[in-house]
Structure 1
Amino acid sequence: MKILIIGGGISGLAVALALHRTGQQVTVFERSQAIQEVGAGLTIWPNAIRVLQELGLTNVIPEIGMPAHYRTIRTWRGALLSQIEVDAIAGSPMRLMHRADLQGALFNALRDASIPVELGARCTGFSQDENGVHAQFADGRTADGDLLVGADGIRSVVRGQLFGIPNIHYTGYTSWRGIAEVDARYIPLGISSETWGVGRRIGLIPLRNGRMYWFAAYTTPEGQGKDQSSAERKQEVQELFRGWHDPIEPILEATDRSRILRNDVYDIAPLAHWSQGRVVLVGDAAHAMSPNMGQGGCQAIEDAPVLAQCIQASADIPTALHAYEARRKPRTSRVARQSRRIGQLSQVNNPQLYPVRNILVKALYTRALSKELKWLLQSTI
C-alpha cells in the first residue's frame, strides 16, 4: 500500500520504519523545515528499547543513550523516599537520551532505507473515499494514498478533522525544561532522579557528553508566565528551587537561559476511536499523556510495530485499523491513568499533607510502582 504519514516526530518516524519493513510504500510529511527538536531529554524504558532494536537501531542506542539502572525520588532536602532497580524488573536498564538524538537516529534510518520525508509540509486537511485518501498541505501540495496516519501530536490536525478537538486537559502544573553542560561531579551516573517538594518537583536525567537534562514542574494556574523573557524564565525556576539539595542549584545556574523552555502540561481525554475509514491516529495524536511515567514517547514507539503487524495481517484497511485499536487502547489507557495519578501525588500542594505524602511514598510507592512497571516492561505489546 501507499501510506501517507503526517508528522515527522518520533512517532511518525518509528511508524514509517515499521511499515517499510513490512513492504509498504511510505512517505512522511513534516511541517517543519528540518527534523530537529531542542531542549528536551527522554527516558526510554526497556519496552520501547526492544521496539527500537526491532527497527534496526540496536547499534545506535548505546551511542545516544546513557544507561540508567535506578529511578529514585528524594525530598527537597535530599532524603531518599523511593528507589526502583530497573534491571531487576526488566532485565536491562532504561536509556536516557536527548530527544533530538533519537529523532536524528530514526531519521537517518529512514534515509538509509530511502524512505522519503517531505519537509515544510503542513497538513491542512484530507478527504477519503472507498478508493483512497487525499491529503492537502498549506503550500498547495497534495498527496494521494491508500492510508493516512496522523502522527501530528497533541494538537493533531488529523484528529481534529476526524473527531473534532477533544478535551485537552490542563494537568494543573506548568513545566520548565533545560539542558546544562556541567562538571562530571554533578552528574549521578546510572540514575534517573526526581525530587519532590510542596507543589513543585524537579527531575535530573544525565545525558551523554557531560550534559544534564532537567525538568521542573510547579502547580500554578494555566497560562502563567507565557510572556516571560528568557531571563525571567530562568530567574523564576531558580527561585522556586532555591535551597534544594545538591546538585540542583548548580545545574540550574549552568543552564543557558535562552535554552530554557516553559510549557503548561496537558493530556487528552480518552478517545472512543482512533480511526475512521482509511485514516488512523498514533502517538500523542491518539493518546497524549502526562510525562510522569516517562512513557509518552515509549508508548508512541510501541504503536509502530502493532500498526504494521495489523496492516500486514489484513487486506481490509478498516479491519486492520480496528485490530490495532483493540490491541493498543487498553494498554495506553492504563499507562495514561497511572501517569496522571503519579502527577497528582507528586504535585501535592498542601504543606500539611506534604509529610503524610512522603510517609506514604516511602512505605508503599516503590512496591506499587514496581508492580505496575513489571506489568508494563514484561508484558507483550
Structure 2
Amino acid sequence: MRVIIAGGGIVGLTAGIAFKSIGWEVLVCEQAPEIRAAGAAIGLWRNALDVFSEVGVGDSINAIGTSVETWFYDAGGRRLRAPGFALAEHQFLLVPRPQLNQLLAAAVGQENIRVNTRILAFEEEADHVKVRFTNGAVERADLLLGADGAYSAVRAQLDPGSAAQEHAGHHVWRGMIAAGDEPAEGSILTVGHQRARGGYVRTYGDQVVWMVNQFDSPAVTGTKKEEALRRAAHLNDNGWNDWLAKLIERTPEEQILHNQIMFVPALPRWTSARVALIGDAAHALSPHISAGGTLGVEDVRVLVNAVQKYEDLATALSAYETNRIPHYARVHELADAVERVRDAHEYAQEYASFTHWMLNDGYRASRA
C-alpha cells in the first residue's frame, strides 16, 4: 500500500512516520524548497505526546522540549488558575518548531520526502488515486492525504468553496530570541485590556518565546515591532510585565512573525474513497487555544487506527470522518467560549474546561 501526503509540516510528517510504521510506502510532498517551520515554538499536550511515543519518536521530542505549567495573569499581574482542575490540565511540552520538524523529517527519511513539489489535482480510480503536480509529474497511490494546511490544494478539490477565511480582527505577533535576565517563570498567559493576550516563556536551547495577540484589533498600520508593543502595553498595568516589552524590543524586526489569523469553515466532508484531509487542511483553528498541532497529530492516530481496523479503505476513511467531524464541532464550541471571555478569571475557567475535555473525553474518543 502507498500513501502520498501533501504537506511536510508537523502533521504531514507525523502521518508519514505512522504509515511507515504499519508497512506502507510513503511519499511526503512539500511545496517549499526545504522542510522548515512556520513559527517559533509549539505547545504539545499529552494527546500528541502519546502518539509520538507510539510511533517511536517520543523520547527524542521530550529531549528537545520544555515542560510548561500554565498560569493565567490579569493585566495587573495577579496569577490565577480555575479551582477544581488537575495539574495535568495545565501542563504541556513547549517544543521549538525548527528542531521538531527536522526530527520528524529524519524519522520519515529524506528518501521519502520531495520538496518543491505542490499538488495540482487528483483523479480517483477504482484501485488507485492519480496525483498530478504543478511540475508536470504524476504519481499513483492507494491513498492521498491532504495535510497541506489552511490553504490546502487537496481540500480545494475535495470540498470546492471551502477556502480559508479571515478570523476578522484577530492578529498575532510572535518571536523567539536568546534568553536574557527576564524572570524564568515567564508570563504565559496574560489576559489584558482591549481583548489583548500574550506573554513569554523559556524554551529549549536557552531561548525565550514571546507572543501577543488581539481580538477585534484596530487596523494594523505600523511595523511588526510597533504593533506588538502596542498589544503588550495592554498586558502591563503598573509595569509588572515590562519584561515582555523588553523581549519584543530586543527581537530584530525581521525575526518577528505577524499573522492575520485564518480558519477553515466547517466542512461537509473530510474524505472520499481514496482521499482524506487531516490537521489544518481539515480544521484550521484560531491558535488562541494553543492546541491545533496537538489535535492534528491526534488525527493521525485516528486515521491510522481506522486503516488498520478495516480492510476496505473507503470504509476506513468513512470511520475516520465519522469520528473527527463531531469531535471538532465540540472543539469549536469550547474554543469559542475561550475567545468570548471578558477577563482573566473567566479565561482561566474556560481554558481549563477545554483542556479537561481534550485530555479526558476527547482523548478517549480519539482512541475508541
TM-score, normalised on structure 1? 0.86
Q: 1:55 to 1:184 in 2, by over 3 A?
A: farther
Q: Which aligned runs of 4 or more in structure 1 are off by greater than 6 angstroms?
A: 84-87
SS in 1 for 2:93: strand
Q: CA deviation at 1:164?
A: 0.8
1:234 aligns with 2:225: yes
Secondary structure of 2:43's counterpart equals: strand
Q: Secondary structure at 1:275's aligned position in 2?
A: coil
Q: Which residue of 2 aligns with 1:352?
A: none
Deviation at 1:248?
1.3
Give the distance between the partners of 2:86 and 2:104, measured in 1 at CA: 25
- 1:97 is the counterpart of 2:82: no
Distance 1:299 1:96, change over 3 A: same
Give yes or no for contact 1:73–1:83 (8 Å, CA) kept in 2: no
Give distance in 1, aligned partners of 2:83 and 2:117: 43
Q: How far off its partner does 1:10 sit? A: 0.7
Please give the per-residue CA displacement for 1:82-125, whole angstroms capped at 9, x wherever unaligned.
368987336x94200112222111111112xx761011101111
The amino acid of 1:326's aligned partner reads: T
Aligned amino acid, residue 277 of structure 2: L
Q: Does 1:160 align with 2:151?
A: no
**Is 1:279 the equivalent of 2:275?**
yes
Task: Give the equivalent residue in structure 2 for 1:173.
Answer: 170
Mapped partners of 2:151, 2:311: distance in 1: 30
- Residue 167 of structure 1 deviates from its aligned partner by 5.7
How far has the Cα of 1:28 moved from its partner?
0.7
d(CA) in 2 for partners of 1:338, 1:170: 19
Kept after mapping to 1: 8 A contact 2:289/2:351: no
Distance 1:107 1:147 in 2: 20
Distance in 2, matches of 1:237 and 1:217, equals: 8
Query: Which deviates the most, 273-282 or 35-44?
Result: 35-44
- Counterpart residue number, 2:71: 72
Change (3 A) 1:128 1:52: same
| Alpha-carbon distance in 2 for matches of 1:372, 1:80 | 23
Q: Conserved in 1, the CA contact under 8 Å of 2:151 and 2:163? A: no
> SS at the partner of 1:217?
strand
Separation of aligned partners in 1, 2:217 and 2:86: 38
Three-state SS of the structure 1 residue aligned to 2:172 is strand
Q: How does 1:154-303 map to 2 (within 5 A)?
A: 154-166=150-162, 168-171=164-167, 172-188=169-185, 192-220=188-216, 224-225=219-220, 232-242=223-233, 244=236, 245-246=240-241, 247-303=243-299
CA contact (8 A) 2:264 2:281 kept: no
Q: Deviations over 1:15-62 (max 9, x none)?
A: 111111111111111101100115421110111111111111122122
Q: Which runs of 5+ in 1 are unaligned?
A: 349-356
Question: Residue 309 of structure 1 is aligned with which of 297, 305, 310?
Answer: 305
Distance change >3 Å, CA 358–CA 27, structure 1 → 2: closer
- Answer yes or no: is the 8 Å Cα contact 1:87–1:93 preserved in 2: no
| CA displacement at 1:205 relative to structure 2 | 3.3
- Contiguous gaps of at least 5 residues in structure 2: none
Residue 315 of structure 2 is matched in structure 1 by: 319
| Native 8 Å contact 2:199 2:212 kept in 1 | yes
| Distance across 2 between alignment mates of 1:303 and 1:367 | 22
Q: Which residue is equivalent to 1:31?
A: 31
Deviates more, 1:279-288 or 1:249-258: 249-258
> SS of 2:198's equivalent?
strand
Counterpart in the other structure of 2:340: 344
* AA matched with 1:188: E
| Alignment partners' CA distance in 2, 1:183 and 1:221 | 30
Structure 2 residue aligned with 1:372:
357
Which amino acid in structure 2 is aligned with residue 212 of structure 1? Answer: V
Decide whether aligned partners of structure 1 residues 314 and 369 sit closer, same or farther in structure 2, where only a CA change above 3 A counts. closer
Q: AA paired with 1:33?
A: P
Amino acid at match of 1:49: L
Q: Deviations over 1:158-201 (max 9, x none)?
A: 00011113263432311111112222543317x84333322211
The one-letter code matched in structure 2 to 1:40 is A
TM-score (norm: length of structure 2) = 0.89
Query: d(CA) in 1 for partners of 2:180 and 2:170?
Result: 30
Is residue 134 from structure 1 mapped to residue 119 from structure 2 by the alignment? no
Return closer, same or farther for 1:115/1:200 CA change in 2, 3 Å cut-off. Answer: same
Q: Give the distance between the partners of 1:178 and 1:148, measured in 2 at CA.
A: 34
* CA RMSD after TM alignment: 2.6
Amino acid at match of 2:214: Y
Contact 2:289 2:338 in 1 (8 A): yes
For residue 241 of structure 1, give the secondary structure of its aligned residue in structure 2: helix
Q: Give CA-to-partner distance per residue, 1:126-184, whole Å, 9 cap, x none.
A: 11111211111111111111111111001111000111132634323111111122225
Structure 1 residues 176 and 33, CA gap change in structure 2 (3 angstroms):
same
